[in-house]
Amino acid sequence: MNMLDRFASVARPAPPTHDTVHWRRLWPRLLRHRGFCIGLVLGLALLGLAAIGPFIAPYEPNWPDYAAALRAPEPAHWLGTDATGRDVLARILDGAHRSIGAAVFVLATIFAIGLVVGAVAGMAGGVVDTVLMRLVDVMMTLPGLVLAFAILGILGPGFFNLLLALVVADWAYYARLARSLTLSARTRPDVIAARMAGIGWGRILLGHILPGVALQLAVVATLGIGGMISAISGFSFLGLGVQPPYAEWGAMLAESRFYFPIAPWLLLVPAGSIFIAVLSANLIGNGLRDVLEAKGRT
């Protein structure tokens, strides 16, 4: 029995023990992680461009100019123009707000819902826990993408409806994760010590349990951003998300689909933007996970 336990602890990664996170100590480790740095640079560059884009772009993203339709990349239009003469660079920068911003917004919402539901279920236990977790079970019987299709089918296409559908389709997973993290945090030595010292559950929750749970959940949410950008651009490609004339990377691919053979930049530029955005989100997420896991083991 003892032997088995010993081997089991070798095989499985030890549960993370960090009760508080010192960012000042974490930063140097993160900056030594090559993937994280590449992702951070790419991500900051993209966000920076998106932020200053509207001020420096010489063209309105939604204004057609039929005299300049389907121009290949040239000094006047760095990334060319689409079939109605709209500047691709201006639309990419404008679309970044929707593509990336929406993904971050959806995951932040899911993170908040998941954290609250999971922490409440994990702390309350009993009937509350059972009811909340059965609800989570119900939501997880259908694959997330299929559920999102179903919700869009009822609500009809549209950017807000898409975001709503993605939140409804995905929150349950985060709630379940937050609950199990809360449950394991409750048996941690510092929580038991605090409990024995007579500190109330409210303070323990805020001071000991939530910070760790929130951090681990945030790492998972970061790892989900790439997939969320893909999902939002995919649904927009199908015409179920961002509606014309507004720019979004997936929607840009859809509206130019039939011009790809004669105007490959209309394919390569949005595709490249999606690739860079998802790549940088993945690299940042993987870096965070690697560093925090390494910290949890020591």
Partner 1 sequence: MTRELAAAVLRRLGQAVLTALVASTLVWALLPLAPGDPVLRLMEARHILEPNDLQIANLRAELALDQPLPLQYANWLARAVRGDLSISYRTGRPVLEEISERLPATMMLLGTALAASILLSLVLALVAVAWRDRWPDRLILLYTQIGAAIPTFVFALLVLQYVIVGAGIGRVLPQGSLALVLLPALTVAVDRAAGWTQLLRASLIEAGNANHALVARARGASRWHVIWHHALPNGILPFLTAIGVSIGALIGGAPIIEEIFTWPGLGRYVLQALSARDYPVIQGFVLLSGLSYVAASLAVDLVAMMLYPRLRKSS
Considering the complex, state which of residue 199 and residue 267 has its C-beta at the smaller distance from partner 1: 267
Give the per-residue contact string, 57-96, with partner 1 (x = CB under 8 A; - = no): ----------------------------------------
Give the per-residue contact string, 225-264, with partner 1 (x = CB under 8 A; - = no): -x--xx--xx--xxxx---------x--x---x--xx--x
Q: How far apart are CA 249 and CA 192, in angstroms?
A: 50
Q: How far apart are CA 129 and CA 267, in angstroms?
A: 48
Pull the structure tokens for residue 236. Answer: 């927009």
Give the per-residue contact string, 279-298, with partner 1 (x = CB under 8 A; - = no): x--xx---------------
278 lies in the binding site for partner 1 (CB under 8 A): yes
For the range 28-31, what are the long-range contacts, defined as Cβ-Cβ under 8 Å and sequence gap of 24 or more?
29/291, 29/294, 29/295, 30/287, 30/288, 30/291
Q: How far apart are CA 68 and CA 84, in angstroms?
A: 8
Cα distances (Å, whole numbers) of residue 93 to 235, 255, 265, 270:
19, 17, 15, 10
Find out whether 167 and 109 touch, Cβ atoms under 8 Å. yes
Q: Minimum Å distance from CB 190 to partner 1? A: 29
Handedness of CA 95, 98, 104, 110 (dihedral sign): negative
Q: Which of 89, 136, 147, 214 binds partner 1 (CB under 8 A)?
A: 147
Q: Minimum Å distance from CB 250 to partner 1? A: 8
Considering the complex, state which of residue 58 and residue 264 has its C-beta at the smaller distance from partner 1: 264
Task: Please give the residue ranges that form the binding site for partner 1 (CB under 8 A).
Answer: 7, 10-11, 137-139, 141-150, 152-154, 156-157, 226, 229-230, 233-234, 237-240, 250, 253, 257, 260-261, 264, 267, 271, 274-275, 278-279, 282-283
